[in-house]
Every structure is written in C-alpha cells, then in structure tokens.
Amino acid sequence: MKQNNVSTDVAYNPATMNITKLEIFGHEASNLSYEDAKREGFIYNILPITSSLKIISTLYKPFLELEIGLKDNVSLMENMPLIGQELIRVSANKKPIDKEEPEEFTFDFIVTDYPAYGKPTQNINESVYFIKAISDFAYVAAFRSTSRKYTGSLSLEIEKIFRNLGFDVDLRFFIFGQDKKTSKGVLNDNLSTMESIEFLRRNLSDENDFPFYLYQLLSNNPGDVHLSSLSYLLDKEFNKPLYDGKPYVFIQSDVSSHPEGKNAYDIKRRRILELESSLGMSKIKQGIAGAFSSENKYLDWSDKTYITKYYDYDKEIRLDPKQNKEIEDVETIQTPTLGGKSVLSKEFNISGLTLNELPIAKTRYLSVNRDSFSGSVNYGSQLSTHLPKSSAMNVLLQTQTHDIKLAGDVNLNPGNLINIEIPKSKAPDNSTEVRDEFISGTYLITSVAHRVDDDGYYCFLKIKRDSFSKSVVTT
C-alpha cells in the first residue's frame, strides 16, 4: 500500500485507522516467544507487499473476518512456507479528536483459506494471492465441542462459554437487553463450541420476543464482544445514533473547499460517497416468510398435545406490553422500530382479507417437550413463545437496505444507529423541500467492512431498518 495517511505511523485524520504493522506468523512460531520466533525468521512483516486489507464486522457473526491481498515479489509463500496454519497480527492506531497521542490496538487472526492465486502476465516474477482469516478465538472454537446441561439465563450461558475458551486476550463481553425467561437444557457434544453458542442465541429472546445478535467490534480492545437484543439496538433513547444524530448526507460537494481541521473532517466523515439500495418491500416474499402472519403448530411430546398459535403483525406492533392490550390508534406502534410507521397497508386485501389475516402464508410444524426438565422453563417451551415474532422481526429488518461507502472511520461498528439524508428525486427548483422523507431517517448498521488499499481508507456499510418513516395510512 502507498505510504499515505492510511499506513503512516501517526493518524492524519481523527478516527482514521492507520495500519502500522502487518505480521504473519509461520506455523513454527506457535510454540516460541515473539522474540525467538522473530530471530528465527518465523515472523514476517507483510505490509510492504500488501495491496489491500479488509476487516469485516457483522451482526450475524460473533467474530471479525480479515481479507488481505498480496503482491508477493519476495517468494514469501515458498520461503516461509505458507501452508494454511498461519497467524496474522494487525497492529494499528487511531488519533481521537480530543487526544494528542494516537491509541494503539492489535488484533490476531488465524488463516482459514487462500482462495485465489495467480501470476500476472505483465510480471511473471510476482505472485498475486489473497488470504482469508478469522478472529483467533473463533478458529479455536471451531475445533472444540461444548457438552453440558445449562440452567438459568441463556445470555449468561453464552458469556460463560466465551470466557472458557482459554484465551489470554482481555475479553470484554457486554450484554444489552434482558432475557425474557430463564431456561434449562442440554448442549449436545455433536455441536462445535461455535455451533452451541449459535444454538443458544437462536433460543434467546427479550421481553418483546425480539432476537439477540452476537458480534465482535473493531475497537481499541480486541476482546470486545456484544450480545444485544434487537429491541435495544432499535431504541434511540439508549442506543443513540452516532455523532449526536447528525445526518450522513448524499450530496454533490467539493469537500476540498472546506477548511482543514476538525470541522473539515466532520464534513468528509458524514458524506455518503456511494449508495446502492435493496428495497426489500416485496410483500409476497415477506408474507411467505411470516413477516405479517403465521400459523404455528406445536406437538408437545410430554403429553401428546397439539396446539396452534397464530401470529398477527398488526396486533403485535400495537400491543402495549405494560398494559398488555392493543392500542387502537392505527398510527401508533408500541413495538420498538426505527421508522415508527407500519410497513403494511390495511387498505389492500386479498378476497377481503388483509395480509396480516392470512396465517397460512407461513405454516410451521414444531415439536417441543415442555417436561424434559421440571421446575423451570426449558428451551422447548421458550422457543414456542418467541419464534413467530422473532422470525418476523428478522424478516422485517430487510424492509429497507442500503449499501453505502463512507470515508474511513474506525468508530463505525455493527449495532450503531446512524441517520442518513437522501435528496428528493425531482427537478431542481426553489422549493425548500429537498429531503426524501421515505428513504431518509435512522438505520441500523448491520455490517461494516473497513478497507485499506492504495486509494485510501474507506468504510463500506450495510444499513437496514424494519419500518417506514412515512405513514402509509391515507389521510
């Protein structure tokens, strides 16, 4: 990579991530001290031959992913040699606005794949290849199994498994949101540790029957792992939008005309450079997936009973959990949402029925065993209560999705809320109404790819929301 502000020793802009060192540890280095491995030549700084680096953090995986592109003109693969059992250490820093000295942070990854290799015809003495790696604890967890009974909070059980991985890293595990109920169950030894964690996460819900997400952050502390309920993530009172809610804007402007310093960087940071959208508003796809209604048939092995429960989106989003009754106001949504307005029009119907009145659009057949553990709620009975709504919320989160490119900002992480401002689609005029009220608003960041290459440091975000900010009710 070029020696510009993305790879020098001191951060040029606030919140810029600067890669200071990129080391690959050969398989022989695992049993040696850093000094001994370095002296023996088992550690190599690959930053000079790196053409691109990308660190990916997403709500849907409890670890970071690393992708590196190399232009090898030093025969690294042959001399080390690279065999797919390497560790990669990324050392970087950032310089916060309010501090003089840059903050250092280091992440360790273990290689999972070399997905592509080639020789450019214009330079046959150079090899071009890519490396994929994941957080070291996730790699180790894939080879371990977890088998035991559990009792109590599922979120605390997930935290216990993480802390028992045996890593020296200063693991900081944060839980945001409250389990709906305690539970009893068994973790099968046929599952890897990561699969056991995912099993518990799927069975976990909060007081609103919303799902939880488990993810690792790109932060000063490489051990920061968050377990957050969707209710918490959507609550702007607790999970406040980034940078005091100042909007990220999609505009044509020459940022070079602005003065240098903090104000200039704030303008650059909040400018949307590229935007592509996937407006997941296909009601037929959402309906078939159970977003608006579902019929859920449960067979209880303990007493051979067979019950059916129905999910109705319109009733659920207006249910006041404190009073346990439905709010009749069609504009009021009690369930936590980002846009605050329903995505479903009740004026549209099929044979006289609105989409929330068609439960057979999604039918589930589930077996439970409520008496498998006595004296407490077990995972089977807990799943039966939250699955319909939890699944619906996951589907609805795809209602509006945007892929945006921003200037590099190490503070961007999945789980953050951001406000975006998109201009109206209309011919220029003297009107003061320039904001597209249907697309603009608050979104949840579900994934961030921090990419550094010769063009600089940029962040590629996927942002989503579960509801509209503009009413669909005819006035």
Architecture of domain 18-139: Beta Barrel (2.40)
Tell me the HSE value of 277 on the side-chain side, using a 13 A CA sphere. 14
Please, which residues bridge with residue 69 across strands? 52, 130
pLDDT classification of 412: cutoffs 50, 70, 90: very high
Q: Please tell me the predicted confidence (pLDDT) of residue 257.
A: 47
Average pLDDT, the chain: 83
pLDDT above 70 for 377: no
- 10 Å CB burial of residue 401 (0-12, 13-18, 19+) is middle
Domain ranges of the chain: 18-139, 148-230, 243-279+399-465, 283-392
Q: Which of 122, 29, 26, 11 is nearest to 78 (CA)?
A: 26
If one compares 347 and 214, the residue with the highest pLDDT of the two is 214
- 212 neighbors 200 (Cβ within 8 angstroms): no
- The CATH class of 148-230 is alpha beta
Antiparallel, parallel or unpaired: β 319-320 and 325-326: antiparallel
Domain covering 243-279+399-465, topology: Elongation Factor Tu (Ef-tu); domain 3 (2.40.30)
Q: Please tell me the predicted confidence (pLDDT) of residue 458.
A: 92
For residue 327, the SS3 value is: coil
pLDDT above 60 for 322: no
pLDDT above 70: percentage of residues in the chain: 81
Two tokens, residue 93: 């820093």
Query: Would you give the end-to-end CA distance of the chain in angstroms?
Result: 57
pLDDT above 90: percentage of residues in the chain: 41
pLDDT classification of 4: cutoffs 50, 70, 90: very low
Tell me the HSE value of 159 on the side-chain side, using a 13 A CA sphere. 15
Q: Please tell me the predicted confidence (pLDDT) of residue 7.
A: 39
d(CA 52, CA 7): 11
pLDDT tens-digit series, residues 187-240: 877 888 888 899 889 888 888 889 999 999 987 677 789 999 999 999 988 899
- 185 neighbors 158 (Cβ within 8 angstroms): no
Say whether 243-279+399-465 and 18-139 share the same fold. no
Q: Which of 355, 329, 284, 333 is nearest to 466 (CA)?
A: 333
CA 351 remoteness from chain centre: 40
